[in-house]
Structure 1
Amino acid sequence: MLKRRLQPFVDQLPILKTLKPIKKDKDSTFYIVRMKEFYQKLHRDLPATRLWGYEGQYPGPTIVEKNEKVNVLWANHLPERHFLPVDKTIHGANKGAPEVRTVVHVHGGTTPPSSDGHPDAWFTRGFKQTGPQFKRKMYHYPNHQDATTLWYHDHALGITRLNIYAGLAGFYLVRDRHERSLSLPKGKYEIPLIIQDRSFHEDGSLYYPSKPQRASPKLPTPSIVPEFLGDFILVNGKIWPFLKVEPRKYRFRLLNASNTRSYIFSLSSGQPFFQIGTDGGFLQAPILVKQITLFPAERVDVIIDFSAHKGQQIILRNTGANANPKTTGLVMQFRVSLPLSGKDESTIPSRLKTIHRLPLNQVQKIRHLTLDQKKDRYGRQLLLLNNKRWDAPATETPRLGNIELWNLINLTNDTHPIHIHLIDFFILNRQPFDVQHFKRSGKIRFTGPPVPPAPYERGGKDTVRVESGKVTRIITTRFGPYTGNYVWHCHILEHEDNEMMRPLIVKPE
């Protein structure tokens, strides 16, 4: 594994390309997106790295839609063998399943079930083999959501962690008329940032462990690891890049697309972020925050004002858990070195959106759902939702149009980012409780008052940080507008791939 230190801030930040449609008419837009293997330079001083990516690039091209119907043919052109270690003892990867399978999920999308990227709707190269939930080759995205920052990524059962680590991820932005009416920074002053961690071998190839560090001799080879933290931070596919900016306002969409790592972002200049959005789109009004915590799959939409920092170099830092200030504590550098190309006419509106909070008296169902920790037959950590494995019959079966309140009761030692497909929700609060008392009696005994969500997570969400030893309460938007098979799961990919995922079936009224 690569142990030498790479010099930070020597590569320019790549600006992600926007995907071009194959065909566009008044009714819909049509894309073909091919998944390919290729080699790409991720740092000046590393040889090119073998990767998988949408349209042969890492990260994949950005898809931008404006409340218009989209049809996408996702085409698997990948090899039949994986270049990362596949554990064939975990669900989805065993029972003679093809080693390389893919299926695409638009994360945060309000999507029909046949196009949602169900983990069992996988397909192989040329659709030679397909999974039990596979329904169609062409995926349909209505894009009738409010403007928001989504992303698309692989979601194949049992190998999601490997496929995303190999490079299968990209942005999916939804725009609308309301967003266009706001005078936010746009064009070259609006930049999506996809942030991931990776480790490498000396030859530039990706390193991903084939076993846990303290592996029992009883473990299979390869064996899934309980989590993965890389040694280097990449932004838009470059290790610790720099971006030259003008002394003016810029809009950045930050996405944590790492397997396990969480981040606490701040700026070395001490200046605040003007946050304007969360997973579900715009906040009601901008807020000033000095730091932002993002767990895997969470997004924030922020404006950084460089107008008072001409000539300075500002580092986007990470002070999250396990961050080394000299390596994983660095994310990227902003160089306020470009001349102002014209008057900055963008503004930060005092009001962004009207958010209609759902009253608790409209809740039709209250669910108490546990996050559980056990051991599997090899003695490995096994994390479950509601103490059930993936293949157990669905127990979360909301009715179309219903609003639900979920109490997520975390009995494990970890914090888990829980993602629910199809709908958004709002965080109500988090409250500590006596875990051992609950394990003995099945009853919750709170040990402290409820704590409201942080300011930066008070908008619509599709992924929520569920902290150890706390009950996290969320209220959903109305389930719909579709019925059918969806899922909810932890978005630490090593957990998701090893049973911490459950079916979610939206039933007719």
Structure 2
Amino acid sequence: MDTLKPQTTKNGAYYEVRMEEFRQKLHRDLRPTRLWGYNRQVPGPTIEVNRDEAIKVKWINNLPTKHFLPVDHSFLNSKLPEVRTVTHLHGGHTPDESDGYPEAWFTRSFREVGPFFKKKVYEYLNHQRATMLWYHDHAMGITRLNNYAGLSGAYIIRDEHEKNLNLPTDEYEIPLIIQDRSFNRDGSLNYPTQPDDASDDLPSPSIVPAFLGDTILVNGKVWPFLEIEPRKYRFRVLNASNTRGYTLELNSGQPFYQIGSDGGLLEKPVQMKKIKMEPSERVDIIVDFSKQHGEQIVLRNDLGPNANPDDETDEIMQFRVNKPLSSKDDSIIPRKLSTIPSLTQNKVSTIRNLKLVGSSDEYNRPLLLLNDKRWDSPITEKPELGSTEIWSFMNVTGFTHPMHIHLIQFQVLDRQPFDLDRYNEDGKITFTGPPKAPAPSERGWKDTVAAPSAEITRVIAQFEPYTGNYVWHCHILEHEDYDMMRPFKVVYPEDKR
């Protein structure tokens, strides 16, 4: 993946990024695939910045006026333009006018704009820890389609502390953006027009409750391989799939050393044989290949004991340790990585109990909601600027939801299981075990957390440094689009409107 170059560095770095349609070969045996990409790339070019160095980006929509994927108009305003985009820097501490609010969309050449459109040039101040964020489309109601078409890319913040740790760097530090896709025989993307069990009265096209592709891509390539040296490598891994979660493992049995999560470095490395990743989560890992010279090692996705034997999504990519060692490997896996002060030392102003619930719409399609409210219901979450709050996600649906909160990074407090069957009978919460502390790999800064079924997942966050309109949502994109997303507003203490 290319690194984005600024148009100018006068008065700070300024970039222009164009969203365009193009064709790209994703595998030698596939014909070129029609895609939408930032600067005609899938994934988009990597943006690299230094901590506290502000940049400006003009996101330009040069896409066609008609979508090539199936747009469901049944739950959207029919007057909305079919192709609209707005880019969100996921995990960024960003002023609201540059956050990528779902209704701040714009069309080709800014001919039409959404009700929250504010500015053409976005500002990213990068006043946060070194980490890998990612940017992706966030347009209201069609995020799943725009991302599936290719609109996403990596965004890396660097700082001096991290540079001084002597981690693997340069060509030995590699982002791995994992996605799943399905293809037609002609190489085009296949995305369902209706659910598998669609009834005759269902709209066509109709949104689907989930999407699992049958093919895995890494950095825009189908089941790729990477030729490497027998040494340590640092991989910045992102799950950029719409719905699919992954359980990463190496078929060699060797461990990962996780050094970071969504919001940057952990306090110390965590040795792991398996790593679970929900959509939009990132893990920062080091793998030591120094003893695998001449081997071929597969990064696998553990599908579990009940997997279909014909399911080929159990393999992600291959590492071929066949290159000679170009120089002595002086990189290390430090015992101490960073310091993370606990937010539990802060005064907690509010505890919010937030239900993840399931219902049905007029077509009997699944309708997953937050606190049983639709997107356009009045805002109910209004944290004060600088305040610390605990958000408790009570999941009464039958599956895990990756919950994402814009603007802030949070810390995971615990998860506590409850009796879901009893809750469905009488609406009462009966705990079936004590609260469970997060795993060591989750004890850093996070912006997305797995909220399992029949559990209450608690996170703690300080809402700063900006006021304004933001959103929180499930990051399964099919859920987010319909209608598992809610606005929240950070207010000054004297403003409780």
TM-score, normalisation: structure 2: 0.97
Out of 16, 23, 29, the position equivalent to 2:13 is 29
Partner residue of 1:292? 275
Find out whether 1:81 has 2:71 as its counterpart: no
Partner residue, 1:13 = none
Secondary structure at the aligned position of 1:24 is classed as: coil
Counterparts of 1:222 and 1:418 in 2: how far apart (Å)? 27
**Preserved CA contact (<8 Å) 1:323 1:329:** no
Corresponding residue of 2:42: 58
Q: Distance in 1 between matches of 2:243 and 2:415?
A: 22
Aligned amino acid, residue 441 of structure 2: Y
1:455 Cα deviation after fit = 2.3
Amino acid at match of 2:469: N
- Please give the alpha-carbon distance, in whole angstroms, between the structure 2 residues aligned to 1:187 and 1:361: 38
- Do the aligned residues in 2 keep the contact of 1:165 with 1:259 (CA within 8 Å)? yes
Structure-2 separation of matches of 1:167 and 1:112: 25
The one-letter code sitting in structure 2 at the alignment partner of 1:349 is: P
Q: Which residue of 1 aligns with 2:284?
A: 301
Aligned with residue 117 of structure 1, among 96, 100, 104: 100
Percent identity reads: 61
Separation (CA, whole Å) in 2 of partners of 1:165 and 1:444: 38
Cα offsets for 1:189-232 (capped at 9, x unmatched): 00000000000000000000000001011100000000000010
Distance of aligned partners of 1:294 and 1:323 in 2 relative to their CA distance in 1, 3 Å threshold: farther
The 5 Å alignment of 1:76-155 reads: 76-90=61-75, 93-155=76-138
Corresponding letter in the other structure for 1:247: P
Q: Does 1:311 align with 2:329?
A: no
Partner amino acid for 1:214? D
SS at match of 2:146: helix
**What is the distance in 2 between the residues matched to 1:265 and 1:302?**
11
Q: Is 2:388 the partner of 1:416? A: no
- The answer to whether the aligner puts 1:377 opposite 2:352 as a matched pair is no
Shift of 1:361: 5.9
Q: Are the aligned partners of 1:251 and 1:303 in contact in 2 as well (CA < 8 Å)?
A: yes
State yes or no: 1:449 paired with 2:429: no
Relative to structure 1, the CA distance from residue 324 to residue 498 in structure 2 (aligned partners, 3 Å threshold; closer, same or farther) is farther
Match of 1:267 in 2: 250
Amino acid at match of 2:16: I
- Matched residue of 2:44: which SS? coil
Gaps of 5+ in 2: none
Deviations 1:410-447 (Å, cap 9, x if unpaired)?
Answer: 01011100000000111111111122443455442101
For this pair of structures, how many residues does the alignment match? 490
Which residue in the other structure is 1:247 paired with?
A: 230
Residues 18, 323 of structure 1: CA spacing in aligned structure 2 closer, same or farther, 3 A cutoff?
Answer: farther
CA distance in 2, matches of 1:506, 1:443: 31
Closer, same or farther in 2 for the Cα pair 1:243/1:323, shift >3 Å? farther
Measure the CA separation in 2 of the matches of 1:146 and 1:374.
39
Give the counterpart of 1:367 among 344, 347, 352. Answer: 352
CA gap 1:352/1:325 in 2 versus in 1, 3 angstroms = farther
1:496 match: 480
User: Contact 2:473–2:485 (CA<8 Å) still a contact in 1?
Assistant: yes
Q: Distance in 2 between matches of 1:300 and 1:133?
A: 32
Alignment partner of 2:29 out of 36, 45, 49: 45
Secondary structure of 1:348's partner? coil
Partner of 2:184: 201
Partner Cα distance (2:485, 2:131) in 1: 25
Distance 1:85 1:198 in 2: 15
**Which region of structure 1 is more displaced relative to structure 2, 299-308 or 430-439?**
430-439
Alignment check: 8 A CA contact 1:306 1:336 kept: yes
- After superposition, give the CA deviation of every residue in 1:285-332 in whole Å (9 maximum; x if it has no partner): 111011100000000000000001110000000014667576100000
Amino acid at match of 1:417: P
Work out the CA distance in 2 between the residues paired with 1:384 and 1:140.
Answer: 31
* Cα separation, 2, equivalents of 1:442 and 1:72: 48
Flag the 1:205–1:88 CA change in 2: closer, same or farther, 3 A.
Answer: same
**Contact (CA 8 Å) 2:227, 2:320: kept in 1 or not?**
yes
What is the alpha-carbon distance in structure 2 between the residues aligned to residue 354 and residue 323 of structure 1?
A: 43
Query: What's the CA shift for 1:95?
Result: 3.1
- C-alpha contact (below 8 Å) 1:319/1:325 kept by paired residues: no
What is the rounded CA distance, in whole Å, between the counterparts of 1:179 and 1:244 in structure 2? 26
Matched letter for residue 298 of structure 1: E
- Name 1:337's counterpart in structure 2: 322
Name the CA distance, whole Å, in 1 between partners of 2:48 and 2:77. Answer: 36
Asked if the contact 1:262/1:320 (under 8 Å) is kept, the reply is no
Instruction: Quote the Cα distance in structure 1 between the aligned partners of 2:69 and 2:24.
Output: 17
Contact preservation (8 Å) 1:255, 1:299:
yes
Task: Name the stretch that deviates more: 253-262 or 177-186.
Answer: 177-186
Deviation (angstroms), 1:448: 1.3
Change (3 A) 1:323 1:334: farther
Summarize deviations over 1:238-271 as a string: whole Å, max 9, x none: 0110000000000000000000000000001100
Distance 1:232 1:439 in 2: 37
Q: Distance in 2 between matches of 1:125 and 1:326?
A: 39
